[in-house]
Amino acid sequence: MGLIVETVSDDQQPTYVVGDVHGHREALEDALAEHGIVDESGDWSGGSTHLWFVGDFVDRGPDGIGVIDLVMRLQEQAADAGGYVQTLLGNHEILLLGTHRFGDTEIAPDTPGRTFARSWLINGGQADDLEHLRDTHVEWLVSRPVLAHALDHLLLHSDTMEYLHWGDDPAEINAAVQSVLAGDDLEQWWELWRRLTTRYAFRGGNGADAAERMLEQLGGTRIVHGHSVIADQVGLAPMEISGPHSYAGGRVLGIDAGVFAGGPCLVVRLPWDS
């Protein structure tokens, strides 16, 4: 299955973006239901709504594969109803896929003990996710883009500049990453995981400038990302978070509220205004 990046116009449709879910399917369904996007059975009720996920469906929570199954089903149901569902690939999906493909194979002779399987366990890997991962899940996941645009927002999973390692524009970057995922080069897979696990590029005194450079290069007027938990950035407990975190002079919006640590599963309508 090739890279799936449909061209759709969401200018006239309600558009939402969802932060990291990390296996918390019930929290995701409840959050979507609050916005009328799914019904009490967890089926699509959003009509022509456009719904984006920034990735990290798996690890750290009880039912990562269940989350993937839900999103895959909603994608089909939304298309039948005139809506649209798409998801980015998160670094935890790459970690799970790498563990599935390479297991305990050492990354390089000079890095004894460094394997996908070991890193997956250290980073919240769940045995049930690996056990229930099927070929249909793998084929769907490796066809996800790593970045996209929605309502002139640049959607990323990770708050990092490392995406630019694979190209100068979104199409080139997505194609290059898809090429890595279609191959069996262990070191390239590890480099993909390593780079997309970095964070905090848009924080601090130079953060706004970094965000501006990213937007100038890849397009958009605001970056929306998951990956870095809001509570860690603002000095609050996860359960005290109630909405996204706007920073870097308003050019960046963080939407990972740390559901795995007791925070909410954020479903944010774009454009967001506090």
pLDDT tens for 62-119 read 999 999 999 999 999 999 999 999 999 999 999 999 999 999 999 987 777 899 999 9
Residues 34/27, Cβ–Cβ less than 8 Å: no
Residue whose tokens read 């100038």: 216
- What are the b/e assignments for 129-140, b being 16+ CB within 10 Å? bbeebeeebbeb
Q: What's the rounded mean pLDDT across residues 219-225? A: 98
Confidence band, pLDDT 50/70/90 cuts, at residue 10:
low
* In the chain, beta strands by DSSP E: 15-18, 50-53, 84-87, 147-150, 153-156, 222-225, 245-247, 252-254, 267-270
For 64, the token pair is 């990562």
Q: Is the pLDDT of residue 142 over 70?
A: yes
Residue 2 or residue 72, greater confidence = 72
Q: Is the pLDDT of residue 6 over 60?
A: no
C-alpha–C-alpha distance, residues 44 and 40, integer Å: 10
Q: Is the pLDDT of residue 2 over 60?
A: no
What crossing angle do the helices spanning 135-142 and 170-182 adopt, rounded to 10°? 150
Q: Say what percent of the chain tops pLDDT 70.
A: 96
Question: pTM of the prediction?
Answer: 0.94
Residue whose tokens read 């390593």: 194
Q: What's the rounded mean pLDDT across residues 231-249? A: 96
164: exposed, middle or buried (Cβ count in 10 Å: 0-12, 13-18, 19+): middle
Residues 265/24, Cβ–Cβ less than 8 Å: yes
Q: Where are the domains of the chain?
A: 15-37+47-270
State the alpha helices, DSSP H only, in 24-103: 25-34, 64-81, 91-102
Note the pLDDT of residue 1.
Answer: 42
Q: Which fold has domain 15-37+47-270?
A: Purple Acid Phosphatase; chain A, domain 2 (3.60.21)
